[in-house]
Amino acid sequence: MPDKKKNKNQYDCNKCPAYCCSYPRIVVTDSDLRRLAEHFGTTEKEAEKRHTRQYRFDDGKEKISERILRHEKDQIYKSVCGFLDQTTRRCTIYDARPSVCREFPNGTTCGYYQFLKFERKQQGDKTFIPSA
C-alpha cells in the first residue's frame, strides 16, 4: 500500500513571505504571455511591453537571452515580481501566473520554507524573516 505522506507537500506558502517571487529572473514563455494578455484583456505585444523585459547575458562562455517579469522594490527582499501584493505577500495574477511559478518548487519540499521553519524555531519567533 503506497505511503500517502510521501506525496504530501512539506511546505506552506501561506507561511512564507514569497521568497520565490524575489528570484531575479522569472521567465515568461510565449504561452505565459498569451495567458497574461487574456488576463488583462490586451494584446500579447501590450502585455509584453507592460509586464516583461528582456534579459541578456553573455560572458563568452554562456549566452542567455530570455523574457522575464518586471520587478519592483520590496521592503523584505531587494526586489520582487511586480505582481506580488506586498501587503498580503500573495500573487495578484495567480490564475494567469507563468509556468515557472506554477511548477515551483517542483516537488513536495521547498528549500526556503525548510530554512524559514528552522530559523523561526531557532529564533523562537513564528513570524521571523531572515534579512536579505
The pLDDT score that the predictor gives to residue 16 is 86
Domain ranges, ordered by start, for the chain: 23-107
The pLDDT score that the predictor gives to residue 132 is 54
The pLDDT score that the predictor gives to residue 1 is 45
pTM: 0.79
pLDDT in tens, 30-40: 999 999 999 99
Average pLDDT, the chain: 89
The full 3-state SS of the chain, as one line of letters, equals: CCCHHHHCCCCCHHHCCCHHHHCCCCECCHHHHHHHHHHHCCCHHHHHHHHEEEEEEECCCCEEEEEEECEEECCCCCEEECCEECCCCEECCHHHCCHHHHHCCCCCCCHHHHHHHHHHHHHCCCCCCCCC
The pLDDT score that the predictor gives to residue 49 is 97
Taking the C-alpha atoms of residue 20 and residue 11, their distance in angstroms, rounded to an integer, is 13
